[in-house]
Structure 1
Amino acid sequence: MDTVHVIGAGLAGSEAAYTAARLGVRVRLYEMRPQRLTPAHRTGAFAELVCSNSLGGEGETNAKGLLQAELRAAGSLVLRAADRHRVPAGGALAVEREAFSQEITQGLSSHPQVEVVRQELTELPSEGVVVLATGPLTSEALAQHLQGLLGQEWLGFYDAAAPVVLGESINLEVAYRAGRYGQSADYLNCPLNEEEYRRFYEVLSQARRHTPHDWEKLEFFEGCMPIEELARRGYDTPRFGPMKPVGLPDPRTGREPYAVVQLRAEDRRGQMWSLVGFQTGLKWGDQKLVVQSIPGLERAEIVRYGVMHRNTYLCAPRLIAPSLRFREHPRLLVCGVLCGVEGYLESAATGLLAGLNAARLLQGKPPVVPPEESMLGGLVRYLASANPENFQPMNANWGLVPAEAGRGRKAERRARLFQRGLWRFAEWWAETLGLTPA
């Protein structure tokens, strides 16, 4: 067990390989491109950006801004290349794609601790520590191998997700807590009268749909039908489906509303709530209009938009610990989209942690997890503890970290969360590497 094997050289795999190598261990980085391209990739370059050139919004009030700052504090390969090749993009960190990928490719290809192997793996290496970073388009052969190893039911190929809103943005003077027919009151319920439902239906019917890539070949199943498709089938179809009010009387009136939208907690602290049965492929701006047309959600802050697309990912809560190590397979770690995160930045961040822990395992040290106040720490804890029955990939957002008790405007509160999270992460990183905190 003298080598860390990293499978996949996207942003997650590249960051994992670099992190492990800089900690002094030998790394073998496998990448099947360009010998075999995915339907989305066009080159053999590492960390190729295929859907966007943005790594998310910046600044002390932005959750992705905190994750960027944490990666910079850790000396991230991806953030260093991004800062060097950034292009103007308002308040976002965007990069010149080709130069960004070339720098990462050259840096890893010339690294003395990294051996690059250009081949497709159809099964996991039998020795050493392995980091899975094969992304949303994992090859069919390797996916079948993983299904056999981990259990077929824990590997999904189709991401059908509903919007998730920040709990503090829900109007609890309108939404009420209740379970259907008096069962466990685990849901928040947003009631609609007949006129409110009519307005909601009009907004939903006029909303624009995301156009999938040709290679995604989306097929809808009755069990995960998009809310907009239900509306297309008829005016009352949503009201007799996910918006059914039967068994959910409003305690303030004692009567069942005309329709109801239920929200289910996405985390143990109840800081994030998803709209039950509202999986959707609508454009993000239109999703916001639809969500905010629902009584009680007029000022809802969406922390994760609904998606309908091809996406290979694991049911992380069933399989992994917050360290990104598999519970039942101690020499195997996972990062990137495959472990259940959304976004380039989140992929790189989980790659950093997986690479760190892969090196530690090879050196006979226990794996570590960033503090919960950090964005990376909050993200990986969510992956390991989310509701496995309804698990969907997650991106960086303020609902992942503990709220602060202090008062003040939202921007002020989030700036304090940013400073707290960055300080705790930097302190943890320095201690983990045996350095003196700055």
Structure 2
Amino acid sequence: MTQTLNIVGGGMAGSEAAWQAANAGLRVVIHEMRPQVGTFAHRTGNLGEMVCSNSFRSDDHEQNAVGLLHWEMRQADGLIMQMAAKHRLPAGGALAVDRDPFAESVTAALRAHTNITVQDAEITSLPTDGQWIIATGPLTSGALAEAIRAQTGADQLAFFDAIAPIVHADTIDMGTAWMQSRYDKGETKDERTAYLNCPMTKDQYEAFIDALLSAEKTEFHEGETAKYFDGCLPIEVMAERGRETLRFGPMKPVGLTNAHDPATKPYAVVQLRRDNALGTLFNIVGFQTKMKYGAQKSVFKTIPGLENAEFARLGGIHRNTFINSPTLLDGQMRLKSQPNIRFAGQITGVEGYVESAAMGLLAARLAVAEARGLALPPVPDTTAMGALVTHITGGADAKTFQPMNVNFGLFPPLEGTGIKGGRRNRKDRYKAYTDRAKADWSAWLAQTEPVPA
């Protein structure tokens, strides 16, 4: 008899988990509350909908940890990576996708799979029988969040996340802006011109910072303390840390030459990245914000080239939740107090689309092995996948646990390579990390590749 795996949530983690388990022969039921129950950020009922950005970040699998994670997921026949390749947009060295067709393709692939059923319904309690993966993400519904809190006996941690605005391309002044990827990165002309750039003089930058700091912001509820994930800070929070912070962050002017005035180096640059295949929409890179809508329009229209901009979506801020995984989960990603339930995705305390999907992939493979009475060897912590799961299931300090992107700091030190630390050897060190990871991940996959029952 074919066993059933229930997955709560059809985001990146839930979609990838369903694909992996179904391909291994398990019957899968995806429980997705959208569109019946909406969220602050989602617009559709599609599985794998992208809400914050359309980028999976760097695709460099030799020098970047997230690029390595891309590689590992591709080796494991990951659905998210397949659909990202199908709907890839020019983005220099990054992997950006046309978000709506991407989600539509993820949805179509999962709904067409003979082993997958999608139920459009909200799960409001933790099931006591059957095998389950909770992959509800940072916007877990209030009822389910309360059920998790009641079962674990621990408060859920919380942080605030922000999304960046999207601009209609035909409202950008191309007499001021120009197209160029930083350092002209990209193998094709489209990739090298995937970004629009809006230059600022020193006076314009200072006026922008003043407007940013004085703009009306979203207020938090009484007694609510704002904690932000450092990788997704609102721009006004960055500006509050110092007037030059943005100029050394998302507005850094390096690697760019103003096509309209090549002899003049901009003091700061606002970049916009293509958000769809048609090139009709661009999102403002790094401009997550908690400003109120009216303030956003006023402040962003002070940016040279955006004076007449029209917005397809304004930025916003929402409360994200995640569990204290180092305390609550075992090494198999199971809830210690109720081991028929695994957690995957951002609710476990990983940050980012790719990291979320990766934890869905791994949770599903662990669930498949358990369903068949098999004991998988631990995922090597020398791999990107293993470094992440090790971090969330005990490697991190539970007292200070916060959302984390994959990075080489999570990997065990290199041994026997002859490569020492230091910035001068960083390229060699990163290549050694990725070479080791690829070998170890390939060996682990060869031992554990699930064969349909």
Q: Which amino acid aligns with 1:416?
A: A
Q: Output the TM-score relative to the length of structure 2.
A: 0.65
> Given residue 338 of structure 2, which amino acid in structure 1 is its aligned partner?
H
- How far is 1:126 from its partner? 3.4
Q: What is the CA-CA distance between 1:404 and the residue it aligns to? A: 2.1
Deviations 1:141-180 (A, max 9, x none): 1111111111142x123359xxxxxxxxxxxxxxxxxxxx
Partner of 1:2: 3
Q: Secondary structure at the match of 1:109?
A: helix
The alpha-carbon distance between structure 1 residues 35 and 388, as it changes in their structure 2 partners (threshold 3 A), is same
Give the aligned partner of residue 427 of structure 1: 443
Cα displacement (A) at 1:212? 11
Superposition deviation, residue 221 in structure 1: 5.5
User: Shift of the alpha carbon at 1:365?
Assistant: 2.1
Structure 1 residue matching 2:117: 3-state secondary structure: strand
Q: Which has the higher mean CA deviation after the structures are superposed, 62-71 or 401-410?
A: 401-410
Conserved? CA contact 1:341–1:395, under 8 Å: yes
Q: What corresponds to 1:65 in structure 2?
A: 67
Which of 98, 101, 111 lines up with 2:100 in the alignment?
98
Indicate the residue corresponding to 2:281 in structure 1.
Answer: none
Greater CA drift, 53-62 or 7-16: 53-62
Judged with a 3 Å threshold, the aligned counterparts in structure 2 of structure 1 residues 105 and 211 are, in CA distance, closer, same or farther, namely farther
- One-letter identity of the residue aligned with 2:434: F
For residues 169-202 of structure 1, give each alpha carbon's deviation from its aligned partner in whole angstroms, at most 9, with x where no partner exists. Answer: xxxxxxxxxxxxxxxxxxxxxxxxxxxxxxxxx9
1:361 equivalent in structure 2: 370
Partners of 2:213 and 2:356 in 1: CA distance: 26
Q: How does 1:203-282 map to 2 (within 5 A)?
A: 218-219=220-221, 281-282=234-235
Separation in 2 of the partners of 1:212 and 1:124?
40
Q: Which residue of 2 is the match for residue 269 of structure 1?
A: none
Cα distance 1:358–1:283, how it changes in 2: closer, same or farther (>3 A)?
A: farther
Q: Name the SS for the 2:334 alignment partner.
A: coil
Residue of 135, 140, 153 corresponding to 1:138: 140
User: How far is 1:127 from its partner?
Assistant: 2.4
Checking the alignment, whether the CA contact within 8 Å between 1:212 and 1:309 is kept in structure 2 is: no
Residues in 2 aligned to 1:209 and 1:368: alpha-carbon distance in whole angstroms: 52
Aligned with 1:107 (options 106, 109, 131): 109
Other-structure match for 1:238:
none
Q: Distance in 2 between matches of 1:79 and 1:35?
A: 28
SS of equivalent to 1:323: coil
SS of residue matched to 1:409: helix
When normalised by structure 1's length, the TM-score is 0.68
State the identity as a percent.
37
Partner Cα distance (1:309, 1:100) in 2: 24
Alpha-carbon shift at residue 328 of structure 1 (Å): 2.5
Q: Is the 8 A contact 1:129 1:361 kept in 2?
A: no
1:321 and 1:327 in contact (8 A); partners too: yes
Q: 1:82 to 1:123 in 2, by over 3 A?
A: same
Q: Residue 282 and residue 207 in structure 1: after superposition, are their counterparts in 2 closer, same or farther (change >3 A)?
A: farther
Are 2:441 and 1:416 aligned?
no
Q: Distance in 1 between matches of 2:140 and 2:362?
A: 21
Taking a change above 3 Å as real, the CA distance of residues 395 and 211 of structure 1, as seen in their structure-2 partners, is farther
Distance (Å, rounded) in 1 between the aligned partners of 2:82 and 2:16:
11
SS at match of 2:319: strand
Shift of 1:213: 9.8
1-structure distance, mates of 2:215, 2:438: 38
CA displacement at 1:138 relative to structure 2: 0.7
Query: Superposition pairs for residues 334-345 of structure 1, below 5 Å?
Result: 334-345=343-354
The one of 73, 76, 86 aligned to 1:74? 76
Q: Matches of 1:222 and 1:49 in 2, distance apart?
A: 27
* Per-residue deviation, 1:218: 3.5
Residues 1:333 and 2:342 are matched in the alignment: yes
SS at match of 1:52: coil
Q: Give the corresponding residue for 1:13.
A: 14
Aligned to 1:387: 397
Q: Which amino acid aligns with 2:412?
A: P
Answer with 371-380 or 398-407: which moved more. 398-407
- 1:25 matched to which residue of 2? 26
2:400 counterpart letter in structure 1 = N
Q: Tell me if structure 1 keeps the 8 A contact 2:376–2:448.
A: no
Residues 24, 450 of structure 2: 8 Å contact kept: no
Give the root-mean-square deviation of aligned CA atoms: 3.5
Tell me, in whole angstroms, the C-alpha distance in 1 between the residues paired with 2:84 and 2:435: 22
Unaligned runs of 5+ in 2: 162-205, 249-287, 291-316
The Cα of 1:358 is off from its aligned counterpart by 1.4
1:149 to 151, 166, 178: 151
C-alpha separation in 2, matches of 1:210 and 1:334? 41
Whether contact under 8 Å (1:350, 1:376) holds in the other structure is: yes
* Matched residue, 1:229: none
